[in-house]
C-alpha cells in the first residue's frame, strides 16, 4: 500500500466519523422526568427546619436564625418544594456567609446570591432545611455521608437551581472532529 492510498483511506475514515458525529448531533437523549423534592420528603429523610432566608428592609440577604457551625447538607425550599441542595463541608454558618457576601471568584455563591435576591422579591422567605448524617466506613475506607447525600438528592430529584445531575451536567464524552 502506498502513502497516497493510506492518506485517502484515512481521509475517508475521518469523513465517515465526521458524518456520524453530525448525523447523531441532532438526536437528543430523552429528558428524564424527576419528581420534585418536597419539604415532607426532606423531613421524613431526617432533615430539620433550621432557618429561613429573608431580605432586610435595605434589600440585603439575611438569615432569620443563625446556622450551626457544623458541616451538613442543606436545602432551599419555596412553597414546600426544594429549589437547591448543597453541601457545607466547612460548616453551614461559613457556607451561608458566602451567599450573603459572595467573593468575586466564587461563581456558585454569586449565582445563588442573585437567585435568592430574585426569589425574595416575590416571596417573603425561603425555608432552609439541614441534615448532618454521620460519616461511615466502607471496607475500611472513609465515606463522606454529606457528599453522598447531596449527590443522591441531585441525581434523584428535580432541583431547578442545581446545575449538576442527570441531564444538567455538561457532557465529557469525546467528540470526533476533522481538521480541514
The pLDDT value given to residue 103: 86
At residue 2, the pLDDT reads: 53
Distance between CA 46 and CA 134 in Å, rounded?
12
> What is the grid cell recorded at 26?
441532532
Task: Spell out the domain ranges in the chain.
Answer: 39-156
The x, y and z cell numbers of residue 18, run together, are: 465526521
**CA 19, chain centre distance (Å):** 34
- Sheet containing strand 61-63, strands side by side: 61-63, 48-55, 126-131, 72-78, 81-88
Report the C-alpha dihedral over residues 55, 59, 60, 65, rounded to 10 degrees: -20
Q: What is the DSSP letter of 38?
A: B
Question: Counting beta carbons within 10 angstroms of the beta carbon of residue 137, is it exposed (0 to 12), middle (13 to 18) or buried (19 or more)?
Answer: exposed
3-state SS, residue 86:
strand
For the 39-156 domain, the top CATH level (class) is alpha beta
Contact (Cβ atoms closer than 8 angstroms) between residue 73 and residue 149: yes
Burial (CB count within 10 angstroms: exposed 0-12, middle 13-18, buried 19+), residue 75: buried
For residues 17 and 8, what is the distance between their CA atoms, to the nearest angstrom? 14
Enumerate residue ranges in the chain where pLDDT < 50: 3-4, 6-8, 10-26, 166-178, 180
* pLDDT score at 32: 67
Amino acid at each position: 500500500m502506498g502513502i497516497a492510498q493510506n492518506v485517502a483511506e484515512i481521509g475517508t475514515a475521518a469523513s465517515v466519523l465526521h458524518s456520524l458525529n453530525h448525523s447523531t448531533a441532532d438526536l437528543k437523549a430523552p429528558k428524564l422526568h424527576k419528581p420534585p423534592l418536597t419539604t415532607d420528603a426532606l423531613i421524613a429523610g431526617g432533615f430539620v427546619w433550621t432557618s429561613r432566608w429573608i431580605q432586610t428592609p435595605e434589600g440585603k440577604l439575611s438569615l432569620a436564625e443563625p446556622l450551626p457551625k457544623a458541616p451538613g447538607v442543606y436545602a432551599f425550599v419555596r412553597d414546600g418544594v426544594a429549589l437547591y441542595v448543597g453541601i457545607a463541608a466547612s460548616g453551614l454558618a461559613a457556607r451561608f456567609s458566602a451567599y450573603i457576601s459572595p467573593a468575586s471568584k466564587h461563581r456558585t455563591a454569586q449565582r445563588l446570591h442573585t437567585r435568592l435576591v430574585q426569589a425574595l422579591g416575590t416571596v417573603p422567605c425561603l425555608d432552609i432545611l439541614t441534615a448532618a448524617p454521620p460519616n461511615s466506613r466502607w471496607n475500611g475506607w472513609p465515606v463522606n455521608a454529606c457528599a453522598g447525600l447531596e449527590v443522591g438528592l441531585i441525581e434523584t430529584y428535580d432541583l431547578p437551581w442545581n446545575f449538576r445531575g442527570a441531564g444538567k451536567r455538561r457532557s465529557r464524552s469525546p467528540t470526533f472532529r476533522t481538521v480541514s
